[in-house]
Chain A
Amino acid sequence: MARLLIPTRNRPTSLLSVVRFLERFSPQASVIVADGSNDAFATENEANMTSADRTIAVEYRRYPYELGFFDRILDVLEGISDPHIIMASDDDYPLLDTLAKAEEALIADPSAVTAMGATVNLRLDAPDELYSMLNAVRPIRQDDPLKRMRAFAAWSYSTTYAVSRRDLLIARYRRARELFLVGFYDFGVGLQECSHGKIIGVPDIGFIATRNFNHSYLRTNSRLLFLRRVEDIFTMRRNCAADLEQYAQMAPVQAERAADHLVRRRIAEHAGYPAPTREGFEHSPLFRNNVVRQQFSVFRDIFRPGTSVRQRFQERLEAIGEALRSASTSKDNSGEPQKFQTLDGQRDGSTLPTSAPAEPPKARTTKIQRTALYNPARMNERLDPQTLTLLGDPLSTLSLLLVGSERLSPPAGADLTSGGAPVTPAEAGLWPRVSALLEARGQGRDVTISAEISNGRLGVWGRGGAHFIALREGVPRLSAEVVPPRFCILDIDAVQPPQVTPQAYRERVGDLLRLLTRLIPEMTFLICRSGRAERPDLSAAQDGIIREHVNCLAGPILDYAGDEAGLAELMTDAISFAMRPASLRQSA
């Protein structure tokens, strides 16, 4: 098994946690620690790493804190003869089962230069605010270096936490010593590696990385740092073009043009438009890649109690959670600012006096992008910091907003007009039937319902109408729920007085849809239809609304429901259909 190289700096608590984690879960591990801490922390690290308590092989190397980060790594790499090395870190937890598979694959394929699984990032922003994020890893196996680099740039990822060939790492860090731009480092490294050879992806998690509010990191305060240091961008372009000339045998002009396109992709990503935020990403070959989908599948279940994946990772997650909480209250990085913009700044900060840990930040009200909540390509989750399980699991709780006629028969107490909060249907009626049917289909355990119900005329639902106003005032409360309504069942009766025209009906309902969409943008509407015989014109208008609004799907046609059992069947079918991810519902 390849050795792990852990560079560390001023984080004795965290470093010890990583080593203990390896001792407990990967007793075969062998580690080189390259310490660039200030004297006080280095002394502590040395004692910890050379302690007789260690049960794994730890080679501890202490370096002057003035020595640059990459020089320190290069000193280790150039002084050993291991063919492969696993790059690691003092706050990231390697899963050696996956990394062993990666190494096997790397040995088997001489055209590959690095191999890795996905990384799950845990970010503790405050003592009670923990997020997780997936850094998925796609295999990049094209023979042509330009094709590999293009494939990588389409959706870039960090290739650091991997098993890599040592000569590649030396090339990587020699270049990084000359050029290090926050926000573009991983991208430049990835491109360089693609120019050298193939990247192997393992369909599992290879690392669980952690960040906490107490540690200090290389981050930028400026959103436009890359413009302030635009020369670095052009240096990266030149490096990339040089690689293309060398490894893809491209002519200089073509190489430069290709490099431009690659770097543009990163600028777009960095400016807030990474591939997964694009509409239809889940249809794309980037996500449909088998390895990626399996990594997402593991990520989907790792924080969900009762799943086999959770069971597999349970003990390791408990250990990491404990270590993360402990590091966040430790004296690691004490006295340093939260962010260093450059490696030089970080090195200079090493000598700052040690002080007591700063006051922990208060939880913010940041919400996860809900538009991604029901997406198979979801990459962000909010977790309970104590249990490392999902907060408000949208896959087990189905929250519905009922709007319209009394046929929807909500449970008592769910009415927004009277200030009612969401309720769980427990008695007889339509919704317990729906709930039971959904559970039998494995499509949800709990159903919670909020409602705004009236058999009134169309006017009460249009702009300025009583129920329009009630919804405008009541729905914002719901959007703040941990699991906000995912579907709105909308049943504005088509049996209206003769003077109500289809145009008026569409306009009023359109106003209502726009209001509710504005209040809860990620909600999907199931439009109930009725009056097929009595008011075919208004009933057709209901069909038209479904066709015209991208966030509307067909709800039940109530005329065919018959009794309550029939309505429950039709309603459940409509909800079942809507619960399928859009990527499966519609043709790509």
Chain B
Amino acid sequence: MSDAPLLIPTRNRPTALSSVLHYLARFASDTRVIVADGSGLEAAEENAQTAAELGARLALDYQHFPADLPLFDRLLSVLTPLTDDLVIMGSDDDYPLMETLRDAQKTLERSPDAVTAMGGKLGLKLSAPNQAELSLRPSRSLTQKSAEARLRSYARWPFSTTYAVTRRTQLIARYTRARDLFLPDFFDVAVGLHDAACGQVLALPQLGYVTTRNYGHAYLRTPGGLAFIENAPGILKLVTDTAADLVEYSGMDGDAAQDLAEQLFRSAVGQNAGAMAHEMRGFATSRDALDASALAQGAEFDALLKEGTQERSAFLPYLSMIVDGVQRSAASKDNANEARFSPTLDAQSSAPAPAEAQGAGQQSAAPPVFRTRPLDLNTLLPLDADGPTLHIIAVGQSNIANHGVGRARSDFGAAMLGGERAPIADPIPGASGAEGSIWPRFADNMAARSDIADLILTNIAQGGTSADDWAPGGPHHERLTEALAAAAGRTNVLNVVVWHQGERDTLLGTSRATYAAALRDIRDTVRAMLPGAHIVICRASLRAAQTSRAVITAQTNVALAHEDCVLGPNTDVLGASYRRDGTHFNTEGLDAFADLLCDTIAGLIPRQRKV
């Protein structure tokens, strides 16, 4: 079967169209392109000239239509006489990733029950000359046998099915229906429901399109507020259409179909009112979010934005050209004198717009997009950090200080003393002892296992200290308060106080109540001076092969009793083979304690949702 043609409707955006066509000429010159131009005379002339220039580099069929012919009539005029079974829908400011779309075509050819196939979409939005963001708009497969099940699944987390390889007959049905009723805020969802009713929707595990929006172009969209429900009879007509589809394709009876259609559109209305499915509780573990294609598209999105990945190297030439095209389009005379947002096709074609309706600053009611990251237009890397900075304040005695066997060093993070940064290398400054510690091991472990941008370590642990020594009035309390005061006020920092102490109290025979009281006082100090900090209370009492149930119980009880406290590892579990002298850790002990502590603290780091 021959390659499906790419159909690009355009209207008054000669610069944007030129960018898309040049992009295709460079990256997919074997693509057969049909341009359906509904521009005014001036823009149409420019478009025709671009088409002529590119004629030698691209199989381009440029068709011009009267500017007053509505969009869907124009599309139908092109689609109806075509003989191709499959067509790729495009746009004058959206950039197809043709390798994916060719794969989608092959997949669709093998799947007679499916009507459309697509990859995920990358959305590039230029909201000011130097302000851009990149977002992921995943698609997912709807391969259920029953139309009802497909519609239910689609409506839970709708996605646009326009930028895809689609059966021509489906496109004709779609645009014939849209010709009768077009509501910009409900167009994608109505089309998606219609597609899902007619057949299966296939998603590929990669990105298939880069869609763009910029501050200079005009768009079909309602202007915000309650405008999206102003045409309530129109929405109810879409509901009736969907109910009719359910009756036709799913065999439901009329009342049940109407009831379900209302349910599906109620959700769509909610999403137009600003409530997005992906913001709802439990979404991240829903079957929609765990769809294999959507997961893979998400992984590709992450990789594109991470320096040094193969995906980024391969994608960068495309993205550079696309960003350049969008910047030039935004600054061009594309859509000049048109309203920034038009609620209907009629309003769009009745240019020019009143002065107050023009301009880049006007905001629409566009719903929030799934997974968006601000983009640096020079480096094409995200502007936001990958995660928070983790600040550890280590408090306790020898086994969290520098008394272990085997010095180590990490290239990740920094140890802080007196405001100075130093590498995390044993012995850690600020703590007692001159030998090895858990911290270089911990730093390497955290770098590999969590999404933190940086690690700062303040280690004030002192060998041979008791819990009482750190409590208010104790000889080391001031050391604690100084460290807490220095940590206060930092932004985007996750503060974690790690308490590992107890061996001395085993020797002293401290009672459970006494130990717990001291620990509670220490906790109160932390809470007062560094609100929001987590306090990880490790359980430790093993000294010279002896343990203290009183100490362990007190540590456990305090950790469980307070919201800001977390149970840390119970290092008494690490027996003689992890100790050099029955008390202090050997190399294996330091490794194991670092590993266990990393588990606890990694669990406190907010994780990016992977979809």
**Chain A residues in the interface with B (C-beta under 8 A):** 222-224, 226-228, 230, 233-234, 237, 256-257, 260-261, 263-265, 267-273, 276-279, 281, 371-372, 375, 441-443, 514, 517-518, 521-522, 532, 540, 543-544, 546-551, 553-554, 557, 559-562, 566, 569-570, 573, 576-577, 580, 584-588
Contact = CB atoms under 8 A, between A and B. Distances in A.
Contacts, number: 176
Contacts of B569: 573
Interface residues of B, number: 66
Nearest to A574: B599
B573 A561 contact: yes
Contacts of B534: 587
Contacts of B282: 279, 371, 521-522
A268 B287 contact: no
Nearest to A266: B273
A367 to B, nearest CB: 14
A169 to B, nearest CB: 28
Contacts of A276: 281
Interface string B30-72: 0000000000000000000000000000000000000000000
A532 B595 contact: yes
Q: Top 5 nearest A-B pairs by Cβ distance?
A: A271-B270, A273-B275, A260-B225, A371-B282, A230-B232
Contacts of A517: 285, 287, 290
Contacts of B357: none
Given A557-B599, A569-B570, A279 B284 contact: yes
Contact of B556 (A268, A441, A580): A441
A257 B363 CA distance: 13
A226 B560 CA distance: 48
Contact of B226 (A228, A237, A281, A576): A237
Contact of A278 (B239, B281, B448, B574): B281
A299 to B, nearest CB: 18
Interface stretch (B261-269, B308-316, B393-401): B261-269
B609 interface: yes
Contacts of A227: 229, 232, 235-236, 269
A271 B269 contact: yes
A260 B235 contact: no
Interface in B481-498: 494
B578 to A, nearest CB: 8
B143 to A, nearest CB: 15
A268 B274 contact: yes
B450 interface: yes
B388 interface: yes
A278 B287 CA distance: 17
A234 to B, nearest CB: 7
B599 A554 contact: yes
Nearest to A570: B573
B566 interface: yes
Contact of B229 (A267, A443, A522, A544): A267
Given A279-B281, A562-B575, A570-B570, A265 B273 contact: yes
Contact of A281 (B236, B281, B451, B578): B281
8 contacts: A223-B266, A224-B266, A260-B224, A441-B560, A514-B290, A518-B290, A521-B287, A540-B448
B221 to A, nearest CB: 15
Given A224-B262, A514-B292, A521-B282, 6 more contacts: A223-B262, A260-B225, A264-B273, A278-B279, A279-B279, A562-B575
Contacts of B262: 222-224
B273 A233 contact: no
Interface stretch (B96-104, B157-165, B600-608): B600-608
A257 B286 CA distance: 36
B567 interface: yes
B416 to A, nearest CB: 20
A565 to B, nearest CB: 8
Contacts of A560: 573-574, 578, 592, 595-596
A550 B610 contact: yes
A182 to B, nearest CB: 14
B182 interface: no
B607 to A, nearest CB: 6
Given A273-B275, A557-B595, A257 B280 contact: no
B36 to A, nearest CB: 34
A570 to B, nearest CB: 6
B281 A547 contact: no
A264 B494 CA distance: 35
A257 B560 contact: no
B283 interface: yes
A222 B259 CA distance: 8
Given A264-B226, A268-B275, A272-B270, A577 B284 contact: no
B384 interface: no
Interface string B550-577: 0000001100100100110110111100
A268 B267 CA distance: 9
A292 B605 CA distance: 27
B450 A584 contact: no
B26 interface: no
A261 B274 CA distance: 10
Contacts of A256: 225
B263, B283, B557: most-surrounded residue (chain A CB, <10 A): B283
Contacts of B239: 224
B38 to A, nearest CB: 32
A561 to B, nearest CB: 7
B281 A375 contact: yes
Contact of A443 (B285, B450, B560): B560
B224 A585 contact: no
A272 B267 contact: yes
B449 interface: yes
A580 B534 CA distance: 13
A569 B555 CA distance: 14
Given A586-B605, A587-B494, A566 B573 contact: yes
Contact of B560 (A267, A272, A576): A576
A553 B600 CA distance: 10
B573 A586 contact: no
Nearest to B576: A562
Contact of A577 (B279, B567, B575, B595): B567
Contacts of B292: 514
Contacts of B448: 540, 543
Given A265-B273, A273-B270, A279 B280 contact: yes
Contacts of A442: 560
A441 B605 CA distance: 25
B603 A230 contact: no
A554 B603 contact: yes
B573 A550 contact: no
B229, B287, B292: most-surrounded residue (chain A CB, <10 A): B229
Nearest to B390: A587
A514 B293 CA distance: 13
Contacts of A223: 259, 262-263, 266
A233 B224 CA distance: 16
A427 B610 CA distance: 41
B273 A268 contact: yes
Contacts of A234: 226
Contacts of A269: 275
A264 B285 CA distance: 28
Contact of A277 (B236, B281, B603, B605): B281
